[in-house]
Amino acid sequence: MEKDIILKVENLSKQYRLGLVGTGTLGHDLNRWWSKIRGKEDPYLKIGESNDRSTKGDSEYVWALKNINFGVERGEVIGIIGKNGAGKSTLLKILSKVTGPTTGEIKTKGRIASLLEVGTGFHPEMTGKENVFLNGAILGMTKKEIQSKLKEIVEFSGCERYIDTPVKRYSSGMTVRLAFAVAAHLDPDILVIDEVLAVGDAEFQKKAIGKMQDISNSDGRTVLFVSHNMAAVKSLCTRAIVLQHGTTVFEGNTNDAVDFYLKSDVANDIAHYVNDNPNEGADILEVSMRDKDNNISGLFGFEDQITLQVKLRVTKDIIEYGSVGFRIKDQNERTVFSSEEDLNNFIEKEGVYFSNIKFPKSVLLPSEYRVIVGYHVPNKQKIRSLFDVVNFRIEETGSMFHKYKGVDFGCVVLDCKWNIKSD
Amino acid sequence: MANKNDNWLYTISPKQKLIDLNLKEVWYYKDLLLLFVKRNVITVYKQTILGPLWYFIQPLFTSVIFTLIFNNMANIPTGEGVPSFLFNLAGITCWNYFKECLTGTSNTFSQNQGLFGKVYFPRVIVPLSVVLTNLVKYGIQILVFIGFYIYYVFFTDKAGGASPKSAIVFIPMLIFFMGILGLGLGMIISSMTTKYRDLKFLISFGVQLLMYGSAVMYPLSFFKKKLPNISWVVEYNPMTTIIEAFRYMTLGVGDYSLPKMLYTALFSLVVFLLGLIIFNKTEKSFIDTI
């Protein structure tokens, strides 16, 4: 069967200028204009470096995207993954026509609608219903379409009772629900979604994921889905693209792509968390996964020493009753094990402490795991809970099950006492 | 890959035509245009006591003040038998329409960057909605003008010299040109301010200065008599022509001639087209420069 390519991205590149845009641009503009008149190439297009934000570059121009090529078939759900600043959002912005590419082009056979952030264009003074119409129209629906879907939208949002009340009286959760409800009832040929799943309470998130699955499964809609949530990408997408420093480094089926992403050095980012905005008093400052040499790592062999390091600030009032704990979850959201320790067993003075928690060796089976860390006074005060704060992965480096493939052996192997005797 | 892949719906590319106004697309978004107008109209005076009454209050009070200062105090003539209050009201109503179109569209990009940064729709919808919103406002203010006109003609004997001319049928044309002139200038300014913020400061007092050069509170003939050396500034200001023509059509006083009207029409069209071109160039990349 012929492939029905609905969207084609060809040699797409996008250049940004770093530093203070504004002063000095007039000079560059004139220079550009002058070379345009003389029929020469834009002098600033030749320069520019790949977009690696952690290393300092020489040029003030960078390529946020460089020569991206891919095609999307009708009905495909494609995941786009990559760490922060890899160019995901830039790509989506170009796809949704919010900004133009510097070179290259995108060809499409269908209308593209984006769900870059829900609730754009909501006006606080207008009622829920008025906002549904306005928001729907902004997203590209006609009044008639919205009218015919109004009942469904209101029902889906669960805000029926408030629908004639100005949105400024809504709780933030309700606003998000209503906004997502409008967006979920869009009918474009290609839907572009960026991280919307981070909104709402758990119940609503479930509903949202379900709705997205419906959209892609039943109506054969083409979806481009950008997310950091690997579980969501895995469950929704059929194919995925990994971006790194503005270029495509992997394209293929979702599981391979997620594997690739986690294995690449990209993964070190997810093994280290720094609290950018800590409380004045007691708080968790950093969480990281460490290997036997105390280097940050998100990747371990089956028999490696794995250490979880939590850096925390302890205040006087916390010392006596406070405790730190963590939970390890597998990919299916099951808790594998947990552990907790009271602070007063170790600490007498206030200050900043590193707690290094060594996991028992050769227990966790090869898979991906996520860590939840909590800092609290039990049953009294929650200081901080960090869900999925770091991830790590255990590679198959010779557990006793490496001979088998595709069988679920659970998450841990326990050192059972076997005894096999003759009758 | 298949051959049938050649019939693409549209292409996103960096190439830019000079005028890339996709009218079909604008038409597709007509509901959005109307909803924006509705939003602008109903949200302005939410949680105010007087509500839409503000539409009347502002031009009325300005006219009273102008009449007191320019006519009663400074003795600027407003034409034989024409009440100076009506004269001022006519000028202010028109000026307000132009001014609000200009200032309302001149911050299109900076005010909507949140929205523009997330969703695509033809950007020109936003300034268009501002012009339409102001048209509604202008319509209401014209009604006030007509109300006072009737009062002066039928209930006082002061309006002996005021009489509408048959050219009044061309008023919609005047409104149209005022609209596109304000829209065009506004689009130019809003596009330039994305990069050069200086214009934002220029616009607020620039508009105020421009009012004094647009024959709002004095007749052009009076200015010509008093300051003949610089009268060309006022004379070639298209807003002067429009306001003078409006007063000629409704009150029977003012400077009105075909060449001047043609000049104004041409001027407005050129500004409007220029505005469209610049606006179009800006809308594709402004999100990176703002």
Q: What is the ipTM for the molecules in this complex?
A: 0.81
Q: Which of A65, A67, A89, A47 is nearest to A246 (CA)?
A: A65
Starting at the earlier edge strand, list the strands of the sheet with A112-115. Answer: A112-115, A190-194, A222-226, A77-81, A239-244, A247-253
Give the whole-angstrom CA distance, residue B43 versus residue A125: 6
Q: Is the CB of B118 less than 8 angstroms away from the CB of A114?
A: yes
| Cα pseudo-dihedral A262, A268, A270, A274, rounded to 10 | 180
Nearest to B116 among A98, A134, A140 (CB): A98
Report how far apart the first and last C-alpha atoms of chain B are (Å, whole number).
40
Q: What are phi and psi of A315, to 5 degrees?
A: -110, 165
Which residues on B lie below 8 Å from A29 (Cβ)?
A: 195
Residue B270 in this model has a pLDDT that exceeds 90: yes
Structure tokens at A201: 């309470």
Give the whole-angstrom CA distance, residue B77 versus residue B80: 8
pLDDT at residue number A327: 93
Which residues on A lie below 8 Å from B120 (Cβ)?
A: 96-98, 114
Mean pLDDT is lowest, of A252-256, B47-51, B165-169, B180-184, for: B47-51
Judged by a CB distance cut-off of 8 A, whether residue A97 touches chain B is yes
Judged by a CB distance cut-off of 8 A, whether residue A100 touches chain B is yes
Which residues on A lie below 8 Å from B29 (Cβ)?
A: 137, 140
Q: Which residues are registered as beta bridge partners of B11?
A: A107
Judged by a CB distance cut-off of 8 A, whether residue A18 touches chain B is no
* CA A123, A124, A130, A135 torsion-angle sign: positive
Mutation target among B33, B115, B119 for the A interface, most CBs of A within 10 A:
B119
Give the gyration radius of chain A's Cα atoms: 25
Give B286 to chain A, closest Cα distance, Å: 8
- What residue of A is the nearest CA neighbor of B116? A98
Judged by a CB distance cut-off of 8 A, whether residue A142 touches chain B is yes
Q: Quick check: A127 and A160 in contact, CB under 8 A?
A: no
Q: Is the CB of A111 less than 8 angstroms away from the CB of B9?
A: yes
Axis-axis angle for helices A172-184, A143-157 (nearest 10): 130
Q: Is the CB of B12 less than 8 angstroms away from the CB of A105?
A: yes
pLDDT at residue number A219: 67
Nearest to B287 among A99, A109, A121 (CB): A99
Mean pLDDT is lowest, of A156-165, A366-375, B157-166, B175-184, for: B157-166
Judged by a CB distance cut-off of 8 A, whether residue A116 touches chain B is yes
Long-range CB contacts for residues B56-63, cutoff 8 Å, separation at least 24: B56/B140, B56/B141, B56/B144, B58/B96, B59/B89, B59/B92, B59/B93, B59/B96, B59/B141, B59/B144, B60/B89, B60/B144, B62/B88, B62/B92, B63/B88, B63/B89, B63/B92
Judged by a CB distance cut-off of 8 A, whether residue B256 touches chain A is no
Judged by a CB distance cut-off of 8 A, whether residue B285 touches chain A is yes
Size (chain B), residues? 290
Give the whole-angstrom CA distance, residue B127 versus residue B178: 14
pLDDT at residue number A274: 85
Q: Which residue has the higher pLDDT, B77 or B81?
A: B77
Which residues on A lie below 8 Å from B46 (Cβ)?
A: 125
Nearest to B5 among A5, A116, A134 (CB): A5
Judged by a CB distance cut-off of 8 A, whether residue A303 touches chain B is no
Q: What are phi and psi of B16, to 5 degrees?
A: -125, 125
Q: What are phi and psi of A74, to 5 degrees?
A: -60, 130
pLDDT at residue number A263: 65
Q: Domain residue spans in chain B?
A: 26-288
Which residues on B lie below 8 Å from A139 (Cβ)?
A: 119
- What DSSP string runs through B86-137? HHHHHHHHHHHHHHHHHHHHHTHHHHTHHHHTT--S-TTHHHHHHHHHHHHH
Which residues touch A251 (CB under 8 Å, ≥6 apart)?
Answer: A70, A239, A240, A241, A242, A257
Query: Mean pLDDT of residues grouped by 10 in chain A (423 residues)?
Result: 78 75 60 70 59 54 85 87 77 83 86 71 87 88 90 88 89 82 81 64 68 70 77 79 87 83 62 82 90 84 88 89 91 86 89 92 86 90 86 77 71 88 88
Q: Which residues are registered as beta bridge partners of A300?
A: A394
Judged by a CB distance cut-off of 8 A, whether residue B226 touches chain A is no
Residue B290 in this model has a pLDDT that exceeds 70: no
Q: Quick check: B67 and B242 in contact, CB under 8 A?
A: no
Which residues on A lie below 8 Å from B287 (Cβ)?
A: 93, 98-99
Judged by a CB distance cut-off of 8 A, whether residue A411 touches chain B is no
Mean pLDDT is lowest, of A2-6, B88-92, B104-108, for: A2-6
Which residues on B lie below 8 Å from A2 (Cβ)?
A: 2, 4
Judged by a CB distance cut-off of 8 A, whether residue A117 touches chain B is yes
Q: Is the CB of B2 less than 8 angstroms away from the CB of A2?
A: yes
Nearest to B14 among A101, A109, A117 (CB): A101
Q: Which of A256, A209, A1, A243 is nearest to B2 (CA)?
A: A1
Residue B2 in this model has a pLDDT that exceeds 50: no
pLDDT at residue number A103: 86
> How much is the average pLDDT of B102-110?
87
Which residues on A lie below 8 Å from B8 (Cβ)?
A: 8, 107-109
Confidence of residue B179 (pLDDT cuts 50, 70, 90): very high
Which residues touch A13 (CB under 8 Å, ≥6 apart)?
Answer: A63, A65, A66, A67, A68, A101, A102, A103, A104
pLDDT at residue number A42: 62
Judged by a CB distance cut-off of 8 A, whether residue A106 touches chain B is yes
Nearest to B115 among A94, A95, A120 (CB): A120
pLDDT at residue number A45: 61
The predicted model scores a pTM of 0.71
Q: Quick check: B193 and B199 in contact, CB under 8 A?
A: yes
Q: Is the CB of A99 less than 8 angstroms away from the CB of B12?
A: no
Residue B269 in this model has a pLDDT that exceeds 90: yes
Which residues touch A121 (CB under 8 Å, ≥6 apart)?
Answer: A134, A135, A138, B115, B119
Q: Is the CB of B12 less than 8 angstroms away from the CB of A102?
A: no
Give the whole-angstrom CA distance, residue A233 versus residue A393: 17
Axis-axis angle for helices A143-157, B30-44 (nearest 10): 60
Which residues on A lie below 8 Å from B42 (Cβ)?
A: 125-126
Which residues on A lie below 8 Å from B26 (Cβ)?
A: none
Q: Is the CB of B115 less than 8 angstroms away from the CB of A109?
A: no
- What DSSP string runs through A81-133? E--TTSSHHHHHHHHTTSS--SEEEEEESS-EEEESSTTTT--TTSBHHHHHH
Judged by a CB distance cut-off of 8 A, whether residue A22 touches chain B is yes
How many CB pairs below 8 A link A and B? Answer: 115
Q: Quick check: A315 and A370 in contact, CB under 8 A?
A: no
Judged by a CB distance cut-off of 8 A, whether residue B18 touches chain A is no
Q: Which of B275, B289, B203 is nearest to A29 (CA)?
A: B289
> How much is the average pLDDT of B26-37?
90
Give the whole-angstrom CA distance, residue B258 versus residue A16: 51
